[in-house]
Amino acid sequence: MSNVTYASINDDILHSMRPPGKTWFASMAIILTMLGMGIFAFGYQIRHGMEGSGINNPIGWGVYITNFVFWVGIGHAGTLISAVLFLVRAPFRTSIYRASEAMTVFAVMTAALFPLIHIGRVWNFYWLIPYPNQRLLWVNFKSPLLWDVFAVNTYMSVSILFFLVGLVPDFAVVRDESKGLKRLFYGIAALGFRGTNHEWKHYMRAYLLFAAIATPLVFSVHSIVSWDFAMSSIPGWHTTIFPPYFVAGAIFSGCAMVLTLLLPLRAIFPGFKDIIKMKDMEAMAKMIMFTGVIVTYAYSIEFFIAYYSGAKYEKALFWFRPFGELKFFFFLMVFCNCVSPLPLWIKKIRTNVPALFLISILVNIGMWMERFNIVVTSLAHDFDPYAWGSYTFEWVEIWITIGSFGWFSMWFFIFVKIMPSLAVAELKEALVPPMRSAHHE
């Protein structure tokens, strides 16, 4: 960061927060159209019931639960980057963690919508929460679905708090660089932060504790999501490999989404290229390579377990996945998750922006397909051949899925314009401080 100084970091951040231009408004128009499609389809579903989705008997969980697991997975990488990499002092974290954290918050906000959309009678969602009610009954604490309510809500609360606490010193920067109403707005958001030693002392200790607390949460949330499946007796779901397999898959997809978001961000704001360096992007590519290998191993071992266990229902299901009527989704998953990241082992490719962007998109598609395969194929092909079924996508669930991408992107676009998308204080901390003497203390 030879050209980067304390002052230039402030200038670059403020540049990114200037009033949006035509490209931003054009992108936002597309995003809002997508969101509008989703809202319309959801309205239709409320009016007409679940007939608009492909959910049927026996496939009671379809695209909505696939979307839920997909978005929770996307939300994984942000906290991994901000908390786990903070604890291990990974150097590439500083430039990318703010945008990744924002991605986490918005992805979990998106994920949290899907159980509500999936239950159909959305107005009864509060039945999931333990509260004193007229019928004098309580929720079932022995159900993994209820554990998931606690896990996702805790994860969302902690991610939001971690994100907002990290923003406070940077809001103070924007406040001090602004005038008028903008100064007032950011002054309120900065909670009077001035950068005194009394503030930094407690702030840094609390931030470290947040990171320490969030680290086991990163691993617990997707483990608990995996128990939604693994605690049942359905072939293809009832397996002990699920928690680590889900966590690795979540990091895989989350890192891919970080690249999908940060590569354009880096291209749009030229000042960011000095801060978000290619080697930071390369480090993310290496995480994709590493977790991609774990995911490939998990896919293989699932087949091996089905063969070695001698359980005929497992064998039948794992024959159905590559050779049954839903085989297209299986092979698309294998191509996107196992084959497409392989070129990243070549340095030239993992330092090439268009190649990285393309691979990140393919991984995102692949990870959606993985969740679809897990959710749908297992339900389509369980114990009794008489009860086997198939799945057809319906327009309502497709529109709602498109709408979820619109919802996520809308928040991210707003974030880029109203919040510092790089962590100002931490970037400054990573610089060699201004010294009169030549040697750094």
Partner 1 sequence: MSKQFSGVWATYEFLDDFCGAIRELRDSGFQRLTTLAPCPRHEIDHALGNPQSRVPFFTLAGMFCGFSLAFTLMTFMSLDWILPVSGKPIVSFPIMGPVLFELSVLCAVWFTLISMIGLILNDLRKHGMPGSKQWKSYRRFTRDRFGLIVPCTQHDLDKVEGILNKFSAEEVNREA
Does the protein bind partner 1 through residue 384 (CB under 8 A)?
A: no
C-alpha–C-alpha distance, residues 283 and 90, integer Å: 10
CB of 118 to partner 1, least distance (A): 21
Give yes or no for residue 271 binding partner 1 (CB under 8 A).
no
Residue in 221, 240, 265, 296 with CA at minimum distance from that of residue 71: 221
Smallest distance from the beta carbon of 87 to partner 1, in angstroms?
15
Closest distance to partner 1 from the beta carbon of 149 (Å): 9
- Output the CA–CA distances (angstroms, integers) from residue 358 to 161, 191, 344, 349, 363, in the order listed: 32, 41, 11, 11, 9
Question: Is 231 or 278 the residue whose CB approaches partner 1 more closely?
Answer: 231
Task: Identify which range of 62-70, 117-125, 167-175, 379-387 contacts partner 1 by CB under 8 A.
Answer: 167-175
Cβ atoms within 10 Å, residue 243: 18
Q: Identify the residue among 3, 88, 123, 141 touching partner 1 (CB under 8 A).
A: 141
CB of 162 to partner 1, least distance (A): 8
Whichever of 178 and 351 has its CB closer to partner 1, that residue is 178
Out of 23, 140, 240, 392, the only residue in the binding site for partner 1 (CB under 8 A) is: 140
In the set 222, 266, 321, 428, which binds partner 1 (CB under 8 A)? 428
Tell me if 139 contacts partner 1 by CB under 8 A. yes
Q: Of 255, 391, 394, whose CA–CA distance to 330 is shortest?
A: 391
Q: Should residue 157 be labelled a site residue for partner 1 when binding is judged by CB under 8 A?
A: yes
Specify the stretch interacting with partner 1 by CB under 8 A; choose among 25-33, 119-127, 212-220, 382-390: 212-220
Q: Which of 18, 22, 89, 198 binds partner 1 (CB under 8 A)?
A: 198
d(CA 108, CA 86): 21
* Residue 197 binding partner 1, by CB under 8 A: yes
Encoded tokens for 434: 């201004």
CB-based contact 167:97 (threshold 8 Å): no
**Least Å distance between CB 126 and partner 1?**
16
Q: Give the Cα separation of 105 and 411 in Å (integer).
A: 9
Shortest distance (Å) from residue 109 CB to partner 1: 17
What is the dihedral angle through the alpha carbons of 167, 171, 177, 179, rounded to the nearest 10 degrees? Answer: 160
Q: Which of 311, 299, 297 is nearest to 235 (CA)?
A: 311
CB 152 within 8 A of CB 69: no
The residue within the footprint of partner 1, chosen from 23, 202, 354, 384 (CB under 8 A), is 202
Q: Report, in Å, the least distance between residue 227 CB and partner 1.
A: 8
Using the contact rule CB under 8 A, the part of the chain among 60-68, 135-143, 332-340, 394-402 near partner 1 is 135-143
Site string for partner 1, 170-189 (x = CB under 8 A): --xx-xxx------------
Q: Give the residue with the Cβ less far from partner 1, 45 or 82.
A: 82
Using the rule CB under 8 A, which residue among 15, 48, 205, 273 binds partner 1? 205
- Residue 313 tokens read as 């229902």
C-alpha 249/C-alpha 76 separation (Å) is 10
- From its phi and psi, is residue 78 left (phi > 0), alpha (psi between -120 and 50) or beta? alpha
Interface with partner 1 (CB under 8 A), residue from 194, 273, 279, 347: 194
Prior bond of 354 cis (ω within 30°): no
- 158 with 220: CB under 8 angstroms? no
Closest distance to partner 1 from the beta carbon of 194 (Å): 6
Q: Is 436 near partner 1 (CB under 8 A)?
A: yes
Shortest CB 230 distance to partner 1, Å: 13
Tell me the DSSP string of 323-376: HSTTHHHHHHHHIIIIITTGGGGSHHHHT-HHHHHHHHHHHHHHHHHHHHIIII
**Of positions 201, 273, 279, 347, contacts partner 1 by CB under 8 A:** 201
DSSP line for 106-150: HHHHHHHHHHHHHTS-GGGGGGGS----TT-----TT-HHHHHHH
Report if residue 169 touches partner 1, rule: CB under 8 A: yes
Closer residue to partner 1 (CB): 210 or 245: 210
Pick the closest to residue 371 from 252, 194, 255 (CA basis).
252
| Chain residues in the site for partner 1 (CB under 8 A) | 5-7, 10, 130, 136-142, 144, 146-147, 150-151, 154, 157-158, 161, 165, 169, 172-173, 175-177, 191, 194-206, 209-210, 213, 216-217, 220, 224, 227, 424-426, 428-429, 433-437, 441
